């Protein structure tokens, strides 16, 4: 079945221990990839190299770049883009989509609860420390009813496929998840470079994101507003995600504002236009909680708007996402997601959580100590990957040291099985060939009043360094166009 | 439209236009001096001083020897000289960046390409033998940008603001060139009025403004001081004239403020007033005291720009 | 008969350079509650900038000012008139079985309800050795323990101005044993919370006519929630319970939640600020 003349894949090496997205266990191309595999096979690697370069310069000329600060100059880099798309069949997508909605809704109910009656704490489903020790829990949000009852209007769910072939969620990003503009740019770039492959597949569009986002943002308008005025607020053009902010504003057809363009008067928010003040009703904010209002939060912030929070609390403006949502994308909350889903929705989780062992529980502590080589040990209160030990990479002495630390303060640690992200053929510049690279997928879910939307596609991020599991762009990650096939 | 973004668009227009005029001034002066009919106009020091004069940074030491490479680098590519071409384009792009959601993808992409061309242009090539290629390319890119502005933006407030920036800047730069060439013509006349009137510098001036062919067609005679000034200042049909620019500004400001009510504090009023003044001017009046005239018009243009700022960019 | 109060709050800010953009938010209005009512507000500033009333994130009334022109100097004057009932802090019923209240403190739902005033903050955090500074005596009621704590702090810290400032951490206050009313109140909050009693920082005015200690600006004390009794005010600076002379403005976890004046000012160079408060009352 494998096409031997397919020179583009002739040197592709498969590691049998890894889950390859396009090959099955027997080394055969999976059905959904068959046509694409053959179509790409019609090109020589030289064609491919030139197409790849064209796509890159297209990104560069469009200014879809992020800035890297060097010693004495600023360099513009493009977010590396791979021309070989990832395909998700309708069956898998159904799971991902339903799972993303389920998690977003459960998190929304969780947020409502912990800022109101706190029943989930009283019922001891999650520990009280989740809010008392979280820097992201905003006391000011207690008792506030956000318009439409929505906190996490926009969620980015990071999903991976493990080598058991199942999808697992690694993280729920519900502060200011970014990356959606790349989904659309990747699609545009791929269409330009390889338009011929598209008519062989029935792929869902991704360009409808902005109109859906706008519709759902309008659905959570403040009370008494007829046609809401929506804006996107950005920290400014030097922010690494500025391209995305301007892209979203432009495609929604709304203003992109900075804090200095807005002011608050009598608890209403206005923007300064060439024709005088204009009232603003819904703000899609891409500024973190601490910076939105210097009079209420970080007083040194020059990005925010003095008085904005008072206007919000009075119900005169909607902020999306709501202030204080950050408490629910804590690592600690993640570990309770299955319980949170069951508690609020009375459903089984559709997407798997990576199982978490709490060392504070004696039986789980015992398991962790016995199976430390198969586990990742994480401190509960550290962010940004600090203090993480990966069991199978530790020396004997290090294992003993980690064990001793866990025993000394078991409450401080959790452990998770070591996951293996699936791999996907990815074009590698240095070797001018396709190689296996680890991928994940970020989906984008938008919650509105009584309505939700999941972008049928997503950002497939690729760890471009061989063997690397970290897909972040700051760590040399790239991305792929992601095709969700129609049923 | 946000006031801040309008300000960005206005200055984007101004910087685009400014970079073109500076580039062409370098190009035309440098190359037409090579075979100029008199020794003074051929003199390299004379040409370099004229360039510095035009960008507003005249060399004050009369006997100082200027190095060609230094002057060209300073005006063309010096990142530390705020009026250099490279900085004009940098500022144009920066202003475009913060208004990125309002301008078309096509326009942004063209500005971005322009920026990358300039930023990556090798310094050594530029000062040795790249002047022609570089400045020609800059001028051509600005034409492309104006084309994108006209052809890929809705002709609404965004377009009006950019166009106002472009035209106020065009009038300003044309006036600055007139000023520089007037100064050159004075310096090369050696006290002879007739020589001033028929100076080779007027031809150079028209070429700097890309108006030489149009002018020849219109007057069918060798340019003189009076015919050149009449053409570049007062002729409403010359697309580079001050009059034409003022007409454009007038037309665009009305898109922003269609109000017809008498309001002497408005931008519309001020522009209309300045425009009418030049519309009915005798060239002889200008010819009597060219220097004061140039000062007056530059002041009027600054006043208009300040008024725009006050009315539309502040709140 | 309620007492009639009049409070005058003055502030003046002087800057070396022009200030083009400034926002101020004042949290200085006496709060309306059972004993304080009919609050009348007069607020003026030297630039005649418009004053907005608003409500901050914790539900307290604020006054906000955003001058529209540049300036180098601005002064504010606020006058508050209101009525206040005589408060007898000892007028409450004390349940003879003291164990009931202690049991309530241990109740899980109680801890969740009062979570905000049980956790420590950057201003009220103690080093673990310092948590032992004051231990409750379980044979006494919670109220008696808190009164003892009030007394203990009053003796432990010597009221001294100029030693600490707004940002001084509690551990340094403890080692210096000197401080002002904010420090007294923070220490009370910290030690009371360590013993499981929900406690909040209170900012307000003190009628100093009767010889109480405070400074010429705003005063600070604490309120603890005692099961069966409710919120009770303790003023460790003066070793008394909050009474008629304590005029409450706001409460919060610590000073940060109650800062009387917040400003966002874009200027270079130095500035000088001065405040003064006078409290007058008549029967």
A310 touching chain C per CB within 8 A: yes
- Predicted local confidence at residue A2, as pLDDT: 45
CB B3 to CB A257 under 8 A? no
The yes or no reply on domain C99-258 and CATH 3.40.50.720 is no
Window from A309-318, B256-265, C145-154 with minimum mean pLDDT = B256-265
Is residue A448 in a domain? no
Whether residues A232 and A301 fall in one domain? yes
Burial of A392 (0-12, 13-18, 19+ CB in 10 A): exposed
C-beta separation of A342 from A156 below 8 A: no
Residue of A nearest to B106 (CA): A62
Quick one: which of C107, C53, C54, C44 has its CA closest to C79?
C44
pLDDT in tens, C186-222: 999 999 999 999 999 999 999 877 667 665 678 999 9
Out of A73-87, A416-430, B177-191, C144-158, the most confident range is: C144-158
Q: Is the Cβ pair A132, C118 closer than 8 Å? A: yes
Within a domain: A80: no
Characterize C40-67 residue by residue with b for buried, 16 or more Cβ atoms within 10 angstroms of its Cβ, and e for exposed: ebebebebebebbebebbbebbbbbbbb
Q: Between A281 and B41, name the one with better pLDDT.
A: A281
Which chain A residues touch C112 with a CB distance below 8 Å?
118, 121-122, 128
Predicted pLDDT of residue B119 = 92
CATH code, domain carrying A280: 3.40.50.11290
Residue A383 lies in a domain: yes
What is the model's pLDDT at position A384? 47
Above 90 in pLDDT, residue A414?
no
- Which residues in A lie closer than 8 A to residue B101 (C-beta atoms)? 246-247, 249-250, 255-256
> How many Å apart are CA A334 and CA A349, to the nearest integer?
13
Out of A390, A417, A444, a domain closes at: A417
Q: What is the CATH number of the domain that holds A382?
A: 3.30.1490.270
d(CA C59, CA C239): 29
Q: What is the largest CA-CA distance in chain B?
A: 57
Q: Give tens-digit pLDDT for A432-454.
A: 888 999 999 999 999 999 999 99
What integer pLDDT is reported at residue B112 of this predicted model? 94
The verdict on A293 and A244 lying in the same domain is yes
The parent domain of residue B230 ranges over 3-313
Examine residue A259 and state whether it is found in any structural domain, yes or no.
Answer: yes
Write out chain C residues lying below 8 Å of A122, CB-based: 108-109, 112
In the numeric block, the tokens 């061989």 are attached to: A466
- Integer Cα distance of C280 and C283 in angstroms: 11
| Residue A457 contacts C, CB cutoff 8 Å | no
Q: A196-200, C88-92, C243-247 — which is least confidently predicted?
A: A196-200
Closest approach of B116 to chain A, Cα-based (Å):
8
Write down the pTM of the prediction: 0.91
Q: How many domains does chain B have?
A: 1
In B, minimum Cα distance to A247 occurs at B101
- What pLDDT does residue A285 have? 96
Number of structural domains, chain A? 2
Highest mean pLDDT among A330-334, B141-145, C121-125: B141-145
Say yes or no: A243 and A300 in one domain: yes
> How are beta strands A423-428 and A451-454 bridged, if at all?
unpaired
- B261-269 long-range contacts, Cβ below 8 Å, gap at least 24? B266/B307, B266/B311, B267/B304, B267/B307, B267/B308, B267/B311, B267/B312
| Residues contacting residue B310 through CB under 8 Å, at least 6 positions apart | none
Contact A118 C66 (CB under 8 A): no
Q: Specify if A295 maps to a domain.
A: yes
Reply yes or no on whether the pLDDT at B264 is more than 50.
yes
A63 at the B interface (CB within 8 A)?
A: yes
Whether A472 shows a pLDDT value over 80: the answer reads no
For testing contact with chain A, the best of C260, C264, C267 (most A CBs within 10 A): C264
Closest residue to B113, CB basis, from A61, A236, A250: A61
Q: Do A237 and B116 touch (CB under 8 A)?
A: no
Interatomic CA distance for residues C139 and C191, integer angstroms: 18
Q: In chain A, what percentage of residues exceed pLDDT 90?
A: 58
Same domain, A236 and A308: yes
Cβ contacts below 8 Å, chain A against chain C, sum to: 66
A251 closest CA partner among B4, B105, B186, C262: B105
Domain-located, residue A439:
no
Q: Is the pLDDT of residue A241 over 90?
A: no
Chain A residue at shortest CA distance from B161 = A274
A237 and A298, same domain (yes or no)? yes
**What CATH fold (topology level) applies to the domain C3-85+260-282?**
Immunoglobulin-like (2.60.40)
A-chain CB neighbours of B97 within 8 Å are: 63, 237, 242
pLDDT at B211: 93
Q: How far, in Å, CA of A169 to CA of A158, rounded?
A: 6
Q: Is there a contact between B51 and B71 (Cβ–Cβ < 8 Å)?
A: yes
Q: Please give the pLDDT value at position A4.
A: 46
Residue of A nearest to C21 (CA): A260
For the cut 90, the answer to whether the pLDDT of residue A385 exceeds it is no
Looking at the structure, tell me whether residues A361 and A310 fall in a common domain: no
- Rounded Cα gap, residues A299 and A174, in angstroms: 24
Residue A239 in this model has a pLDDT that exceeds 70: yes
Element holding B176 (H helix, E strand):
helix B157-188
C61: closest chain A residue by CA? A310
Average pLDDT over residues A95-114: 97
CB distance from A271 to chain B under 8 Å? yes
Pick A318 or C266 by higher pLDDT: A318
Higher pLDDT, C258 or A419: C258
Has residue A303 been placed in a domain? yes
Determine what percent of chain C is predicted with pLDDT higher than 90: 78
On the question of pLDDT at B297 being above 80, the answer is yes
Looking at the fold, whether A244 and A304 belong to one and the same domain comes out as yes
Residue B168 DSSP SS3: helix
Contact A294 C57 (CB under 8 A): no
Q: Are A418 and A392 in contact (CB under 8 A)?
A: yes
Of A62, A243, A260, the CB nearest to B109: A62
Q: Which residue of A has its CA nearest to C258?
A: A296
Mean of the per-residue pLDDT values for chain C? 92
Question: What confidence tens digit (pLDDT) does each residue in A319-374 have?
Answer: 999 999 999 987 778 889 999 999 999 999 999 999 888 888 889 999 999 999 88
Residue span of the structural domain in which A374 resides: 355-417
A1 pLDDT above the threshold of 90 = no
Residue A342 inside a domain? The answer is no
**Residues 6 or more apart from A324 whose CB is under 8 A from it?**
A111, A115, A136, A137, A138, A140, A141, A151, A289
Domain ranges of chain C: 3-85+260-282, 99-258
pLDDT at C215: 59
B157 contacts in A (CB within 8 Å)?
274
Given A267, A291, A316, which residue is the final one in a domain? Answer: A316
User: At CB < 8 Å, which residues of chain C contact A?
Assistant: 23, 25, 52, 54-58, 62, 64, 66, 108-109, 111-113, 115-116, 118-119, 253, 257, 262-264, 266
Q: What tokens appear for A157 in the block?
A: 């769910």
Output the average pLDDT for chain B.
92
β-bridge pairing A389-390 and A375-379: antiparallel
Write down the residue that tokens 């030049």 correspond to: B278
Structure confidence at residue A72 (pLDDT): 66
């Amino acid at each position: 079945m494998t096409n031997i003349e397919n020179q583009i894949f002739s040197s592709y090496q498969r590691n049998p221990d890894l889950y390859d997205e396009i090959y099955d266990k027997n080394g055969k191309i999976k059905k959904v990839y068959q046509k694409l595999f053959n179509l790409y096979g019609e090109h020589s690697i030289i064609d491919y190299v030139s197409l790849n370069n064209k796509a890159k310069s297209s990104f560069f000329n469009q200014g879809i770049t992020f800035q890297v600060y060097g010693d004495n100059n600023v360099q513009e880099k493009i977010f590396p883009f791979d021309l070989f798309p990832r395909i998700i069949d309708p069956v898998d997508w159904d799971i991902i989509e339903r799972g993303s909605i389920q998690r977003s809704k459960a998190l929304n109910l969780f947020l409502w609860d912990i800022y109101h009656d706190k029943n989930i704490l009283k019922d001891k489903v999650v520990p009280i420390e989740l809010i008392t020790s979280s820097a992201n829990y905003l006391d000011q949000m207690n008792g506030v009813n956000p318009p439409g009852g929505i906190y996490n209007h926009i969620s980015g769910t990071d999903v991976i496929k493990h080598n058991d072939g199942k999808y697992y969620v690694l993280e729920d990003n519900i502060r200011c998840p970014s990356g959606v503009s790349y989904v659309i740019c990747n699609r545009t770039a791929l269409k330009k470079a390889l338009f011929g492959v598209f008519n062989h597949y029935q792929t869902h569009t991704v360009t409808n994101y902005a109109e859906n986002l706008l519709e759902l943002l309008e659905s959570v308008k403040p009370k008494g507003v007829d046609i809401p005025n929506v804006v996107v607020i950005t920290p400014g053009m030097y922010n690494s995600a500025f391209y995305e902010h301007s892209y979203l504003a432009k495609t929604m057809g709304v203003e992109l504002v900075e804090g200095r363009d807005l002011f608050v008067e009598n608890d209403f928010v206005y923007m300064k236009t060439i024709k005088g003040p204009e009232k603003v009703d819904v703000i899609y904010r891409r500024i973190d909680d601490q910076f939105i209002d210097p009079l209420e939060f970080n007083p040194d912030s020059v990005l925010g708007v003095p008085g904005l929070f008072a206007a919000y609390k009075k119900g005169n403006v909607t902020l999306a996402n709501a202030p204080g949502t950050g408490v629910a994308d804590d690592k600690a909350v993640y570990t309770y997601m299955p319980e949170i889903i069951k508690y609020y929705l009375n459903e089984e989780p559709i997407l798997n959580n990576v199982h978490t062992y709490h060392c504070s529980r004696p039986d789980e502590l015992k398991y962790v100590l016995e199976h430390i080589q198969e586990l990742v040990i994480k401190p509960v209160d550290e962010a940004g990957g600090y203090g993480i030990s990966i069991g199978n990479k530790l020396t004997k002495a290090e294992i003993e040291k980690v064990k001793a630390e866990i025993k000394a303060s078991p409450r401080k640690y959790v452990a998770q099985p070591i996951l293996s992200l699936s791999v996907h053929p990815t074009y590698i510049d240095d070797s001018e060939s396709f190689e296996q690279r680890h991928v994940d997928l970020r989906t984008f879910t938008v919650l509105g009043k009584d309505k939700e939307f999941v972008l049928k596609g997503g950002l497939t991020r690729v760890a471009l360094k061989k063997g690397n599991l970290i897909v972040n762009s700051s760590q040399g990650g790239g991305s792929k166009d992601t095709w969700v096939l129609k049923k | 439209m946000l006031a801040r973004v309008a300000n960005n668009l206005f200055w984007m227009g101004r910087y685009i236009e400014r970079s073109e005029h500076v580039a062409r001034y370098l190009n035309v002066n440098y190359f037409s001096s090579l075979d100029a009919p008199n020794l003074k106009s051929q003199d390299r020091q004379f040409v370099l001083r004229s360039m510095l004069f035009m960008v507003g940074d005249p060399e004050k030491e009369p006997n100082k020897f200027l190095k060609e490479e230094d002057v060209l680098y300073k005006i063309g590519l010096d990142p530390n000289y705020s009026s250099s071409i490279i900085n004009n384009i940098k500022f144009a792009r920066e202003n475009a960046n913060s208004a990125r959601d309002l301008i078309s993808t096509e326009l942004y992409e063209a500005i971005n390409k322009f920026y990358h061309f300039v930023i990556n242009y090798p310094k050594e090539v530029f000062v040795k033998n790249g002047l022609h290629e570089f400045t020609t390319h800059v001028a051509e890119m600005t034409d492309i940008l104006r084309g994108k502005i006209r052809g890929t933006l809705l002709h609404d407030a965004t377009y009006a603001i950019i166009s106002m920036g472009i035209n106020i800047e065009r009038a300003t730069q044309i006036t600055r060139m007139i000023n520089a060439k007037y100064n050159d013509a004075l310096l090369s006349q050696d006290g002879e009025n007739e020589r001033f009137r028929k100076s080779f510098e007027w031809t150079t001036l028209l070429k700097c403004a890309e108006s030489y062919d149009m002018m020849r067609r219109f007057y069918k005679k060798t340019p003189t001081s009076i015919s050149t000034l009449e053409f570049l200042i007062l002729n409403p049909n010359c697309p580079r004239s001050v009059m034409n620019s003022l007409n454009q500004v007038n037309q665009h400001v009305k898109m922003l403020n269609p109000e017809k009510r008498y309001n002497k504090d408005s931008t519309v009023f001020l522009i209309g007033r300045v425009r009418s003044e030049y519309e009915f001017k005798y060239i002889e009046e200008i010819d009597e005291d060219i220097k004061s005239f140039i000062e007056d018009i530059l002041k009027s243009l600054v006043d208009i720009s300040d008024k725009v700022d006050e009315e539309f960019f502040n709140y | 008969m309620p007492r009639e109060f009049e409070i005058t709050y003055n502030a003046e800010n002087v800057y070396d350079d022009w200030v083009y953009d400034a926002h101020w938010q004042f949290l200085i209005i006496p709060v309306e509650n059972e004993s304080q009512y009919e609050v009348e507000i007069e607020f003026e500033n030297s630039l005649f900038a418009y004053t907005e009333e608003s409500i901050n994130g914790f539900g307290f009334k604020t006054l906000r000012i955003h001058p529209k022109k540049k300036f180098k100097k601005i002064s504010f004057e606020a006058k508050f008139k209101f009525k206040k009932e005589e408060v007898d802090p000892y007028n409450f019923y004390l349940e003879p079985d003291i164990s009931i209240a202690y049991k309530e403190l241990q109740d899980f739902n109680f801890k969740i309800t009062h979570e905000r005033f049980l956790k420590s903050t950057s201003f009220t955090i103690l080093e673990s050795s310092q948590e032992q500074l004051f231990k409750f005596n379980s044979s006494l009621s919670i109220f008696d323990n808190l009164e003892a704590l009030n007394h203990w702090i009053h003796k432990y810290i010597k009221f001294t101005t100029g030693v600490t400032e707004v940002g001084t951490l509690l551990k340094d206050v403890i080692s210096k044993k000197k401080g002002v009313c904010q420090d007294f109140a923070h220490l009370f909050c910290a030690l009371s919370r360590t013993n499981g009693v929900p406690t909040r920082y209170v900012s307000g005015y003190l009628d100093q006519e009767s010889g109480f200690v405070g400074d010429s600006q705003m005063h600070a004390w604490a309120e603890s929630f005692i099961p069966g009794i409710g919120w009770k005010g303790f003023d460790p600076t003066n070793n008394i319970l909050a009474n008629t002379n304590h005029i409450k403005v706001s409460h919060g976890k610590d000073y940060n939640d109650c800062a009387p004046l917040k400003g966002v000012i874009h200027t270079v160079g130095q500035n000088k600020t001065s405040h003064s408060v006078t409290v007058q009352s008549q029967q």
